[in-house]
A = this chain, B = another copy of it.
């Protein structure tokens, strides 16, 4: 290799100080998911092509695999890389149904691949975190509330700009459209779903031309879509529109339960919102639907989503309903990192650089490092016995906060940020707990722009 390699578009990679943040985010999500009894699994990266192509609309994005030794025949191996974690999870549930206990709560943090045109927030390789609860035959509604709450708790703990969990319910909107007398509620859903891309007048026109609604029906549909509340007061506002339908009643009760169930997770860093325009397009959701947005980064569109499927998987004999939410880790982190808004405050896990007096005393410096590690303090020994000033700059360049000086009359440790230097014993000294691991430094977009 004689020239510097260049990045591959759509395959973002992180520097160590960035990967540290991603790892912290994943660890934090895992911790919340496990506190709620969700078990972690991974699925293989590949699925048979017939599994991947079941949903027509994503077929163009699949990466097909071919073994190089099969080059002459030009045949594919019949497998491709998964483009989400839902298709493999559904297959995993069917394949292992006899060995799993239902309800099966699982989380899965893995990469997925799509061959689409790369743009900011849309990558060809990306990491996402999914939670789902899946049951055999019937899945009680309270799991919708649980899944919303678990993801809300998990997201609210992340070192990110404020996130917003938008929730709606397909029964609510379908019931409303039926109560209104719409002949094809599905067509109305598909058109209303365009509200985040098209101006309201254009959506109104489509509701007339393509869904056959009259002017009054169109006005009612748009009035419903405009309702957005951060508590269950949306129920009253829908009632004021005067539409009646049994399915609408069910949908209102379900949505209110989800929004109320997340009430005490709300903070200035996390919002839950009943958003009655949300439909989640063509996906096969049958009740609750979710979407996640990052406040101040609306250009990314949704950074996650999900909902309830009445048939996540089916093997002909049994049906497995599920409810789940997916959160885009690369989708949120990579844009923040590439703008310099998110990184760790050091490039290495080490809290301490143990200085080296001379090469002959390396074993003495190693012994100090071992004593610190035995008490859980990450550290490294200087690579070379340079002048102490150079060793301090070595620590500075990496963001290591402390330099340890071995001494014949006792050791000293220096906080190179403050310059404070004190006598210290490797068997008892410890840094303040906030220094023990690299800290995530998040700069808000506003601050950056000043």
In the complex, A358 has a CB within 8 A of chain B: no
Do B64 and A106 touch (CB < 8 A)?
no
Interface residues of A in 14-38 (CB under 8 A from B): 14-16, 19-20, 23, 34-38
Do A13 and B66 touch (CB < 8 A)?
no
Instruction: Report the minimal beta-carbon distance from A249 to chain B, rounded to whole angstroms.
Output: 19
Which of A46, A97, A99, A106: most chain B Cβ within 10 A?
A46
Do A1 and B313 touch (CB < 8 A)?
yes
**Contacts of A81 on B, CB cut-off 8 Å?**
65
**Contacts of A91 on B, CB cut-off 8 Å?**
1, 5
Interface residues of A in 48-65 (CB under 8 A from B): 48, 51, 54, 59-65
Which of A4, A19, A48: most chain B Cβ within 10 A?
A4
Of B5, B37, B64, B316, which one neighbours A380 at CB under 8 angstroms?
Answer: B37
Do B65 and A40 touch (CB < 8 A)?
no
Of B1, B140, B378, B380, which one neighbours A94 at CB under 8 angstroms?
Answer: B1
Instruction: Report the minimal beta-carbon distance from A181 to chain B, rounded to whole angstroms.
Output: 35
In the complex, A350 has a CB within 8 A of chain B: yes
Interface residues of A in 190-209 (CB under 8 A from B): none
Do B76 and A34 touch (CB < 8 A)?
no
Do B35 and A378 touch (CB < 8 A)?
yes
Do A105 and B380 touch (CB < 8 A)?
yes
Instruction: Report the minimal beta-carbon distance from A120 to chain B, rounded to whole angstroms.
Output: 17
In the complex, A11 has a CB within 8 A of chain B: yes
Q: How many copies of this chain are found per oligomer?
A: 2
Q: How large is the interface on A (under 10, 10 to 19, 20 to 34, 35 or more residues)?
A: 35 or more
**Contacts of A339 on B, CB cut-off 8 Å?**
none
Do A101 and B40 touch (CB < 8 A)?
no
In the complex, A341 has a CB within 8 A of chain B: no
Of B16, B74, B383, which one neighbours A40 at CB under 8 angstroms?
Answer: B16
Q: State the CA gap A288–B99 with chains docked (Å).
A: 46
**Contacts of A20 on B, CB cut-off 8 Å?**
39-40
In the complex, A137 has a CB within 8 A of chain B: no
Of B12, B69, B95, B347, which one neighbours A101 at CB under 8 angstroms?
Answer: B347
Do A376 and B4 touch (CB < 8 A)?
no
Do B5 and A19 touch (CB < 8 A)?
no
**Contacts of A450 on B, CB cut-off 8 Å?**
none
Do A380 and B15 touch (CB < 8 A)?
no
A-B contact pairs, 29 of them (CB 8 A): A1-B315, A2-B314, A2-B315, A4-B94, A4-B95, A4-B97, A8-B79, A11-B44, A12-B44, A13-B44, A13-B95, A15-B96, A16-B40, A20-B40, A34-B349, A35-B379, A36-B373, A37-B350, A39-B347, A39-B348, A60-B67, A60-B69, A61-B67, A63-B66, A63-B68, A64-B68, A65-B81, A135-B383, A140-B383
Instruction: Give the B-binding residues of A (Cβ under 8 A).
Output: 1-8, 11-16, 19-20, 23, 34-46, 48, 51, 54, 59-69, 74, 76-77, 79-81, 90-92, 94-97, 99-101, 103, 105-106, 111, 113, 115, 125, 135, 140, 142, 313-316, 347-350, 362, 373, 376-380, 383-384, 397-398
In addition to A5-B51, A16-B40, 14 A-B residue pairs with Cβ atoms within 8 Å of each other are A3-B316, A4-B95, A13-B43, A13-B92, A13-B95, A14-B41, A16-B100, A20-B39, A34-B349, A34-B378, A36-B373, A39-B348, A101-B347, A142-B362
